[in-house]
């Protein structure tokens, strides 16, 4: 039974891990370089990822997309976890590192790794079920990161609302809710582009990983990584179970909350603090370890009869 649970879990996380490793190998062999990664990141973030979200939602039944209960749960879960971090972190993190530590411990890579896991587990159906949760969490992650890192300019707040991931979700959900027919030619063309998203994004993430990133700020980095990969998904998944979520929805909450720290957290930390290297280390460590912690979590859920 254990090996069956393990096999089922690896079927979800294995493809993500293999493509990440392939990105590492291709970068080390010089097949892909910094220019490829920079261009690939821009293409994914601004074009293919919004299209994937749009076409995953646009032809769905509105009842599958609108989940106000999940949206409310997402708000409570994220705000609760951040409040707990803000309260507890002064006891073990130096003040100058605290903001970057907190951001690294709560802000997950939902847009790439989270979606890759959902597609691997449930296909487009998983994206549709997670749409409300995903939109709310992404918006909260951005807002809370700006607040925690100490910048509150109006232009930055408005920029969050133009996040392509959020726009893709809103556009796709609007088309579905209004029952606007999408021409088959656009569906086919858009899906061709959308299919590039996850392989390209995961290759780029793998290409950015460097073992040198593990050398600095070890204690704070490992604490933040443990919170992000173990403590946060454990607490929020338990809370989801306690309020009545089961089966696919419970696994979706776990997969999204167990994702590694978002690469965007490094970009913001570098621009807004002097602790950019620490942020990069948290991203690298959580990305490298997350396939194993997520696989273990899925095995535990399956063993408990929840997956």
**CATH class of the domain defined by 2-205+217-302:** mainly alpha
Q: Where are the domains of the chain?
A: 2-205+217-302
- Averaged confidence pLDDT in the chain: 87
Per-residue pLDDT tens digits for 10-60: 888 988 889 888 988 999 999 998 899 889 888 888 888 888 889 888 888
pLDDT of residue 154: 47
Is the torsion defined by CA of 120, 126, 128, 131 positive or negative?
Answer: negative
Residues 6+ apart with CB under 8 A from 69: none
Q: 10 Å Cβ neighbour count for 168?
A: 24
Confirm if 283 and 101 have CB atoms less than 8 A apart: no
Per-residue pLDDT tens digits for 63-90: 778 889 999 999 999 999 999 999 999 9
Per-residue pLDDT tens digits for 224-279: 999 999 999 999 999 999 999 999 999 999 999 999 998 878 767 877 788 888 88
Banded model confidence at residue 156, pLDDT cuts 50, 70, 90: low
Per-residue pLDDT tens digits for 130-153: 988 988 898 889 888 878 887 544
Reduce the DSSP state of residue 188 to 3 states and report it.
Answer: helix
Name the percent of the chain lying above pLDDT 90. 41
pLDDT of residue 142: 80
Confirm if 114 and 252 have CB atoms less than 8 A apart: no
216 backbone dihedrals φ, ψ, rounded to 5°: -105, 155
Reduce the DSSP state of residue 108 to 3 states and report it.
Answer: strand
Nearest to 108 by CA among 298, 306, 254: 254
Nearest to 214 by CA among 288, 103, 112: 288
User: pTM, whole model, 2 decimals?
Assistant: 0.86
């Amino acid at each position: 039974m254990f090996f069956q649970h393990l096999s089922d879990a690896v079927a979800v996380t294995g493809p993500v891990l293999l493509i990440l490793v392939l990105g590492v190998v291709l970068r080390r062999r010089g097949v892909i370089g910094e220019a490829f990664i920079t261009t690939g990141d821009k293409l994914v973030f601004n074009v293919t990822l919004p299209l994937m979200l749009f076409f995953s939602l646009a032809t769905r039944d509105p009842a599958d997309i609108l989940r106000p209960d999940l949206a409310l749960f997402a708000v409570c879960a994220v705000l609760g976890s951040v409040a707990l971090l803000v309260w507890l972190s002064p006891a073990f993190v130096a003040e100058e590192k605290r903001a970057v530590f907190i951001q690294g411990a709560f802000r997950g890579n939902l847009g790439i790794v989270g979606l890759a896991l959902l597609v691997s587990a449930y296909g487009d159906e998983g994206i549709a079920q997670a749409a409300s949760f995903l939109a709310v969490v992404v918006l909260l992650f951005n807002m809370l990161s700006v607040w925690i890192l100490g910048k509150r300019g109006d232009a930055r707040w408005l920029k969050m609302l133009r996040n392509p991931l959020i726009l893709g979700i809103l556009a796709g959900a609007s088309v579905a809710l209004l029952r606007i027919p999408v021409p088959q030619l656009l569906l086919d063309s858009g899906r061709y582009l959308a299919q590039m998203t996850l392989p390209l994004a995961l290759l780029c993430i793998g290409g950015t990983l460097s073992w040198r990133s593990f050398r600095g700020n070890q204690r704070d980095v490992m604490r933040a990584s443990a919170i992000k990969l173990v403590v946060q998904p454990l607490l929020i998944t338990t809370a989801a179970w306690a309020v009545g979520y089961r089966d696919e929805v419970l696994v979706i909450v776990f997969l999204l909350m167990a994702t590694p720290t978002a690469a965007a957290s490094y970009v913001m930390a570098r621009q807004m603090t002097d602790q950019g290297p620490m942020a990069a280390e948290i991203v690298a460590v959580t990305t490298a370890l997350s396939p194993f912690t997520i696989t273990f979590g899925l095995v535990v859920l399956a063993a408990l009869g929840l997956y």
